[in-house]
Amino acid sequence: MDEWVRYMNVVASLLKPGAACEFGDYVHRYYNARDEPIDEDWQSLQVFKAVAKRKGFDMDCGNTIADYAHDLKFTDIKQHHFKIPATRWMVDTNPETFRMGYNNELTESLLHQNVMKRMLQGTEYGDEEIKIFQDEFIGKLEATRHERYFPFVVTTARKPQ
Protein backbone atom coordinates (compact mmCIF):
# COMPACT_ATOMS: atom_id res chain seq x y z
CA MET A 1 0.00 0.00 0.00
CA ASP A 2 1.51 3.30 -1.01
CA GLU A 3 -1.21 5.75 0.03
CA TRP A 4 -1.89 5.19 3.73
CA VAL A 5 -3.04 8.75 4.43
CA ARG A 6 -5.48 8.70 1.52
CA TYR A 7 -6.77 5.28 2.60
CA MET A 8 -7.23 6.42 6.18
CA ASN A 9 -9.07 9.53 4.98
CA VAL A 10 -11.49 7.27 3.10
CA VAL A 11 -11.97 5.11 6.19
CA ALA A 12 -12.63 8.22 8.29
CA SER A 13 -15.22 9.44 5.79
CA LEU A 14 -17.12 6.17 6.18
CA LEU A 15 -17.18 6.24 9.99
CA LYS A 16 -19.75 7.89 12.19
CA PRO A 17 -18.32 10.39 14.69
CA GLY A 18 -16.88 8.52 17.65
CA ALA A 19 -16.73 5.19 15.79
CA ALA A 20 -13.64 3.04 16.17
CA CYS A 21 -11.47 1.56 13.45
CA GLU A 22 -8.50 -0.78 13.32
CA PHE A 23 -5.47 -0.83 11.04
CA GLY A 24 -2.73 -3.41 11.01
CA ASP A 25 0.53 -3.91 9.19
CA TYR A 26 4.08 -5.14 9.52
CA VAL A 27 7.21 -3.37 10.54
CA HIS A 28 9.74 -4.57 7.99
CA ARG A 29 12.55 -5.40 10.40
CA TYR A 30 13.78 -8.77 11.54
CA TYR A 31 14.66 -9.59 15.15
CA ASN A 32 16.16 -12.55 16.99
CA ALA A 33 14.87 -14.25 20.14
CA ARG A 34 16.61 -11.60 22.28
CA ASP A 35 14.64 -8.83 20.50
CA GLU A 36 17.79 -7.55 18.75
CA PRO A 37 17.59 -6.39 15.13
CA ILE A 38 19.42 -8.83 12.85
CA ASP A 39 18.91 -7.31 9.41
CA GLU A 40 21.13 -4.23 9.50
CA ASP A 41 23.79 -5.81 7.26
CA TRP A 42 21.38 -7.39 4.77
CA GLN A 43 22.26 -5.43 1.62
CA SER A 44 19.31 -6.89 -0.28
CA LEU A 45 16.84 -5.64 2.34
CA GLN A 46 18.43 -2.19 2.45
CA VAL A 47 18.19 -1.91 -1.36
CA PHE A 48 14.60 -3.15 -1.27
CA LYS A 49 13.63 -0.59 1.38
CA ALA A 50 15.36 2.27 -0.46
CA VAL A 51 13.55 1.47 -3.72
CA ALA A 52 10.26 1.02 -1.87
CA LYS A 53 10.66 4.43 -0.24
CA ARG A 54 11.35 6.07 -3.62
CA LYS A 55 8.16 4.45 -4.92
CA GLY A 56 6.15 5.85 -2.00
CA PHE A 57 5.86 2.75 0.17
CA ASP A 58 6.17 3.10 3.94
CA MET A 59 8.05 -0.01 5.04
CA ASP A 60 7.59 1.00 8.69
CA CYS A 61 3.85 1.49 8.34
CA GLY A 62 3.02 -0.79 11.25
CA ASN A 63 4.56 1.85 13.50
CA THR A 64 3.69 5.00 11.53
CA ILE A 65 -0.03 4.30 11.17
CA ALA A 66 -0.47 5.85 14.63
CA ASP A 67 1.24 9.03 13.36
CA TYR A 68 -1.06 9.13 10.34
CA ALA A 69 -4.09 8.66 12.62
CA HIS A 70 -2.89 11.46 14.88
CA ASP A 71 -2.40 13.79 11.88
CA LEU A 72 -5.96 13.02 10.77
CA LYS A 73 -7.23 14.02 14.27
CA PHE A 74 -8.26 10.51 15.29
CA THR A 75 -8.49 10.06 19.06
CA ASP A 76 -7.94 7.23 21.55
CA ILE A 77 -5.07 5.87 19.43
CA LYS A 78 -3.60 2.63 20.76
CA GLN A 79 -1.06 0.23 19.34
CA HIS A 80 -0.71 -3.48 20.06
CA HIS A 81 2.55 -5.16 19.04
CA PHE A 82 2.83 -8.81 18.06
CA LYS A 83 5.83 -10.97 17.21
CA ILE A 84 5.26 -12.92 14.02
CA PRO A 85 7.68 -15.87 13.88
CA ALA A 86 9.43 -16.97 10.72
CA THR A 87 8.80 -20.59 11.67
CA ARG A 88 7.12 -22.52 14.45
CA TRP A 89 9.96 -21.82 16.91
CA MET A 90 7.85 -19.64 19.22
CA VAL A 91 5.17 -22.27 19.75
CA ASP A 92 6.23 -22.90 23.36
CA THR A 93 6.22 -19.25 24.43
CA ASN A 94 3.55 -17.92 22.06
CA PRO A 95 1.29 -20.84 21.06
CA GLU A 96 -1.13 -18.43 19.35
CA THR A 97 1.56 -17.80 16.70
CA PHE A 98 1.85 -21.44 15.63
CA ARG A 99 -0.31 -21.12 12.51
CA MET A 100 1.37 -17.91 11.37
CA GLY A 101 4.80 -19.44 11.91
CA TYR A 102 3.80 -22.54 10.00
CA ASN A 103 2.43 -20.43 7.13
CA ASN A 104 5.64 -18.39 7.04
CA GLU A 105 7.70 -21.60 6.87
CA LEU A 106 5.78 -22.64 3.78
CA THR A 107 5.52 -19.32 1.94
CA GLU A 108 8.14 -16.81 3.09
CA SER A 109 10.97 -17.57 0.64
CA LEU A 110 8.77 -17.64 -2.45
CA LEU A 111 6.81 -14.57 -1.36
CA HIS A 112 9.93 -12.51 -0.75
CA GLN A 113 11.54 -13.59 -4.02
CA ASN A 114 8.49 -12.43 -5.97
CA VAL A 115 7.96 -9.21 -4.02
CA MET A 116 11.63 -8.25 -4.31
CA LYS A 117 11.64 -8.91 -8.05
CA ARG A 118 8.52 -6.82 -8.61
CA MET A 119 9.83 -3.95 -6.47
CA LEU A 120 13.24 -3.79 -8.15
CA GLN A 121 12.21 -4.37 -11.79
CA GLY A 122 12.31 -1.22 -13.87
CA THR A 123 14.86 0.44 -11.58
CA GLU A 124 18.61 0.82 -11.91
CA TYR A 125 18.97 -2.88 -11.00
CA GLY A 126 19.13 -5.41 -13.81
CA ASP A 127 17.91 -9.00 -13.73
CA GLU A 128 21.33 -10.36 -12.67
CA GLU A 129 21.59 -7.92 -9.74
CA ILE A 130 18.02 -8.68 -8.71
CA LYS A 131 18.83 -12.40 -8.70
CA ILE A 132 21.90 -11.74 -6.51
CA PHE A 133 19.75 -9.73 -4.07
CA GLN A 134 17.10 -12.46 -4.02
CA ASP A 135 19.70 -15.15 -3.33
CA GLU A 136 21.34 -13.10 -0.56
CA PHE A 137 17.97 -12.38 1.05
CA ILE A 138 16.84 -16.01 0.93
CA GLY A 139 20.20 -17.05 2.39
CA LYS A 140 19.76 -14.59 5.28
CA LEU A 141 16.23 -15.86 5.89
CA GLU A 142 17.41 -19.48 5.94
CA ALA A 143 20.35 -18.71 8.23
CA THR A 144 18.06 -17.08 10.80
CA ARG A 145 14.91 -19.16 10.40
CA HIS A 146 14.99 -20.85 13.81
CA GLU A 147 14.94 -17.69 15.90
CA ARG A 148 13.67 -14.86 13.74
CA TYR A 149 10.51 -12.81 13.92
CA PHE A 150 9.11 -9.59 12.53
CA PRO A 151 6.73 -7.20 14.28
CA PHE A 152 3.09 -6.77 13.37
CA VAL A 153 1.31 -3.75 14.83
CA VAL A 154 -2.43 -3.31 15.22
CA THR A 155 -3.50 0.31 15.66
CA THR A 156 -6.97 1.22 16.92
CA ALA A 157 -8.37 4.73 16.83
CA ARG A 158 -11.62 6.68 16.97
CA LYS A 159 -13.03 9.22 14.60
CA PRO A 160 -13.44 12.52 16.45
CA GLN A 161 -16.95 13.41 17.72
Residue-level pLDDT at 107: 82
Which residue range forms the structural domain that includes residue 57? 4-158
Strands (E), 7-135: 20-26, 75-85
pTM (predicted TM-score): 0.84
Evaluate the CA torsion angle 102, 32, 145, 106 in order and state its sign: positive
| pLDDT digit string, tens, across residues 92-142 | 777 777 777 778 778 888 878 889 999 999 999 999 999 999 999 989 988
Q: Say how many domains are in the chain.
A: 1
Alpha-carbon distance of 97 to 88, in angstroms, equals: 8
